[in-house]
């Protein structure tokens, strides 16, 4: 079984992605209850913790039980009620959320790519929901892992996937070379789900 999640750093308490931090504020807090964010392929929870600290509810999902245990242990005996942890095989033929009624105000995915579910993943966002995605792209094989093209985004692939839905406004998109924390080719996007583009932002 191939591992499709790659850490930019090996320390289990690595800092949040600046891209995620930059756009997280677009996820508007709910008037009644905290907005709910899906941290998909959450790893050891760097973004789960960030979202919780900012007052959001979070569903953190990953295939690795040990990673979820790391999140739980980081809170000791007082895991916040705003955080739900689920261990799921993210590559099941039937997409994990295909039969669920769950919708989210935000979706965060970093350092993970599984193409068969990429388009369907956008369906978990409610109207006005914010999609924040960042992972490695073709060209990264020059610098190390991941180097398998199955795990590297093609040129403008994220942009094309989101635009194919025809129900998102693109807030920002980049395909760049990053020097830190290690040399890498990165592709990332932020988009908002909307039926009326004029009402967003």
* Domain assignment present for 134: yes
Which of the four pLDDT bands, split at 50, 70 and 90, describes residue 69?
very high
Residue 137 belongs to a domain with what CATH number? 3.40.50.150
Give the range of the structural domain holding residue 133, as residue numbers without chain letter.
Answer: 18-27+34-199
CA distance 133 to 114: 13
> What contacts 122, CB < 8 A, 6 or more positions away?
107, 131, 161, 162, 165, 168, 193
State the average pLDDT over residues 10-25. Answer: 83
* Domain assignment present for 4: no
List pLDDT tens digits, range 113-167: 999 999 989 999 999 999 999 999 999 999 999 999 999 999 999 999 999 988 9
pLDDT at residue 1 in the model: 28
* Domain assignment present for 62: yes
Please give the structure tokens belonging to residue 52: 């919780």
Q: What's the structural domain count of the chain?
A: 1
CA distance 19 to 21: 5
* Domain assignment present for 159: yes
pLDDT at residue 5 in the model: 41
In this structure, are residues 58 and 52 in contact, taking their beta carbons and an 8 Å threshold? yes
* pTM for this entry: 0.87
* Domain assignment present for 177: yes
* Domain assignment present for 126: yes
In this structure, are residues 131 and 20 in contact, taking their beta carbons and an 8 Å threshold? no
* Domain assignment present for 97: yes
Higher model confidence: residue 181 or residue 99? 181
* Domain assignment present for 186: yes
Higher model confidence: residue 31 or residue 98? 31
111: left (phi over 0), alpha (psi -120 to 50) or beta: left
Does residue 195 have a pLDDT over 70? no
List pLDDT tens digits, range 40-53: 999 999 999 999 99
Does residue 22 have a pLDDT over 90? yes
Q: Which residues of 115-150 are buried (b: 16+ CB within 10 A; e: fewer)?
A: eebbeebbebbeebbbbbbbbbbebbeeeeebeeee
Does residue 197 have a pLDDT over 50? no
């Amino acid at each position: 079984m191939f591992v499709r999640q790659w850490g930019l750093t090996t320390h289990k308490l690595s800092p949040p992605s600046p891209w995620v931090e930059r756009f997280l504020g677009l996820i508007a807090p709910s008037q009644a209850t905290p907005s709910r964010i899906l941290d998909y392929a959450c790893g050891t929870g760097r973004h789960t913790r960030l979202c919780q600290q900012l007052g959001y509810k979070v569903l953190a999902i990953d295939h690795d039980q040990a990673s979820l245990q790391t999140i739980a242990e980081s809170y000791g005996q007082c895991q916040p009620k705003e955080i739900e942890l689920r261990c799921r095989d993210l590559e099941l033929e039937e997409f994990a959320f295909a039969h669920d009624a769950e919708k989210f105000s935000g979706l965060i995915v970093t350092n993970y790519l599984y193409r068969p579910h990429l388009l369907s993943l956008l369906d978990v966002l409610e109207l006005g929901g914010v999609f924040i995605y960042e992972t490695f792209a073709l060209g990264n094989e020059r610098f190390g892992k991941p180097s398998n093209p199955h795990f590297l985004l093609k040129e403008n692939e994220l942009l094309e996937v989101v635009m194919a839905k025809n129900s998102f406004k693109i807030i920002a998109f980049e395909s760049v070379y990053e020097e830190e924390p290690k040399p890498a080719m990165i592709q990332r996007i932020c988009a908002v789900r909307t039926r009326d583009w004029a009402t967003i932002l």
